[in-house]
């Protein structure tokens, strides 16, 4: 394992860093305060990011992307999320879904959907798995009951599949131009054996957007309900095999969770910087707060915990490309540890700000809201730990 970063990685990280500080952060400070959750979507900023190559980062170079590996993705994502984690979360979707199309799509699917994704500067994508009754079930996966897992159905009629059901919490569900939808194609078997993945354009007849979640944090990230009512999708828009979605989800799991870790690191670094700056300038007892030893030590401890979490996130990202056997467990650890560390860092940072930290609109309160929201993304932490427990002991390590 070599974490010596190459010049391309350093260059991409710099581009993301500049963009985060100069463009994302100022926009986020304004958009985060808007009441209507549907009004916070930063489309112009997505287009700007696209011009810098940041929207198509994960796509193979032969399709016009940057061909970034998982380690490069986490480096860039931490920077973007330093600017705003909701924005970073939105932008990371086309990396993943674009790569899924590039690796699993037929030539015709690539020609029709990937070409457009690359060309259109505002093209973002979504992956729709979660339903009202089925969240952590998808992460575990829980198979003891046939009721577990997605209940959105896809039933074949001639050359089409007819989709019915509702998805919840779908990142960019209301703005994505293309959605990869997981639906039950065989209800007689536990869900991992009976789900398929469908490529669904936003304008598909029978698809409409429902509730847009009004969230505590990550306000720039849209989380929408998708309602399928006799939504007819041609058979040639099945991605991969019929009843073959579970292996696809397993394959993308580790890098997705390493990236969840990277998003939290971005929030944590923003929180630490805010805490450090405040402690350096706020004078109490005749000296800046940072010169009170207990506060200096506290800042050092937060930096240490953040660095430990980062090491695990990098290791999980590297494993997802190079050591598949270890990747599942490492990425679960990375997501759980980093999200917990970052809640601690953000809370302590807020505490160091005293009364100022709990004023609405300050960096300290925004960072804490964003950190808490990350506890639930890509599976709740307890569910991930339940899976980790199972995987570690099944592996006999
Ligand atoms: C910001 C954000 C973005 C998201 N984006 C998407 C998206 O793009 N696409 C998508 O499909 N979904 C998305 N989700 C949904 C997300 O994946 C789910 O919220 C998550 O899987 C948890 O499901 P749930 O909210 O239904 O919680 P539940 O499954 O109801 O869990 C509730 C609590 O119980 C715990 N728990 C559950 N089962 C067990 C168990 N067996 N043992 C111990 N503890 C357990 C969990 O850890 C959690 O703390 C997003 C969520 C958020 C917050």
Question: Measured from the CA of 142, which atom of ligand 1 is nearest?
Answer: 41
Question: What's the gap in Å between 33 CA and the centre of ligand 1?
Answer: 25
For the whole model, what pTM was predicted? 0.96
Confidence at residue 236, expressed as pLDDT on a 0 to 100 scale: 98
C-beta of 139 in contact with ligand 1 (< 6 A):
yes
Confidence at residue 3, expressed as pLDDT on a 0 to 100 scale: 86
Residues 100, 129: Cα–Cα separation, whole Å: 15
**288-308 tens-digit pLDDT:** 999 999 999 999 999 999 999
Question: Given pLDDT bands bounded at 50, 70 and 90, which one contains residue 266?
Answer: very high
315-320 contacts, C-beta under 8 A, 24 or more apart: 315/1, 316/254, 316/257, 316/258, 316/261, 317/69, 317/70, 317/71, 317/73, 317/74, 317/255, 317/258, 317/259, 317/262, 318/1, 318/3, 318/70, 318/71, 319/254, 320/70, 320/254, 320/255, 320/258
Question: Given pLDDT bands bounded at 50, 70 and 90, which one contains residue 395?
Answer: low
Q: In whole angstroms, how far apart are CA 373 and each of 16, 106, 268, 316?
A: 23, 36, 13, 22
Confidence at residue 295, expressed as pLDDT on a 0 to 100 scale: 97
Closest-CA residue, ligand 1 atom 2, reads 377
Question: What's the gap in Å between 134 CA and the centre of ligand 1?
Answer: 8
Q: In whole angstroms, how far apart are CA 338 and each of 21, 57, 173?
A: 22, 23, 26
**115-154 tens-digit pLDDT:** 999 999 999 999 999 999 998 888 887 778 888 899 999 9
Averaged confidence pLDDT in the chain? 95
**Higher-confidence residue: 173 or 61?**
173
Place of tokens 């930063």: 42
Given a cut of 80, whether residue 386 has pLDDT beyond it is: yes
C-beta of 135 in contact with ligand 1 (< 6 A):
yes
**204-249 tens-digit pLDDT:** 999 999 999 999 999 999 999 999 999 999 999 999 999 999 999 9
């Amino acid at each position: 394992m070599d974490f010596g970063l190459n010049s391309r990685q350093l260059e991409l990280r710099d581009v993301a860093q500049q963009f985060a500080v100069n463009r994302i952060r100022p926009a986020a400070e304004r958009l985060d305060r808007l009441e209507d959750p549907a009004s916070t979507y930063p489309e112009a900023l997505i287009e700007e990011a696209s011009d810098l190559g940041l929207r198509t980062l994960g796509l193979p170079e032969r399709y016009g992307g940057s061909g970034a590996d998982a380690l490069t993705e986490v480096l860039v994502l931490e920077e973007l999320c330093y600017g705003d984690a909701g924005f970073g979360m939105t932008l990371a979707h086309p990396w993943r879904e674009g790569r899924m199309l590039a690796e699993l799509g037929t030539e015709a699917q690539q020609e029709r959907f990937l070409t457009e994704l690359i060309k259109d500067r505002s093209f973002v994508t979504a992956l729709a798995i979660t339903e009202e009754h089925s969240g952590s079930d998808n992460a575990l996966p829980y198979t003891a009951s046939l009721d577990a897992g997605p209940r959105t159905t896809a039933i074949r009629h001639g050359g089409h599949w007819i989709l019915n059901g509702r998805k919840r919490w779908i990142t960019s569900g209301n703005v994505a131009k293309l959605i990869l939808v997981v639906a039950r194609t065989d209800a007689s078997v536990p869900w991992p054996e009976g789900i398929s993945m469908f490529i669904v354009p936003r304008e598909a007849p029978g698809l409409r957007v429902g509730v847009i979640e009004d969230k505590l944090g990550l306000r720039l990230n849209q989380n929408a309900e998708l309602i399928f009512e006799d939504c007819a999708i041609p058979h040639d828009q099945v991605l991969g095999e019929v009843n073959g979605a579970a292996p696809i989800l397993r394959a993308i799991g580790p890098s997705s969770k390493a990236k969840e870790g990277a998003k939290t690191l971005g929030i944590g670094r923003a929180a630490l910087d805010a805490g450090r700056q405040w402690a350096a300038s706020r004078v109490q007892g005749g000296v800046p707060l940072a010169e009170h030893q207990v506060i200096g030590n506290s800042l050092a401890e937060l930096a240490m915990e953040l660095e430990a979490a980062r090491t695990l996130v990098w290791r999980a990202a590297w494993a997802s490309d190079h050591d598949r056997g270890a990747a599942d467990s490492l990425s679960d650890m990375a997501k759980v540890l980093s999200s917990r560390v970052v809640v601690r860092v953000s809370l302590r940072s807020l505490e160091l700000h005293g009364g100022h930290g709990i004023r609405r609109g300050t960096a300290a309160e925004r960072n804490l809201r964003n950190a808490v929201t990350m506890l639930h993304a890509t599976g709740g932490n307890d569910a991930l730990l339940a899976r980790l427990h199972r995987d570690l002991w099944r592996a006999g390590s």
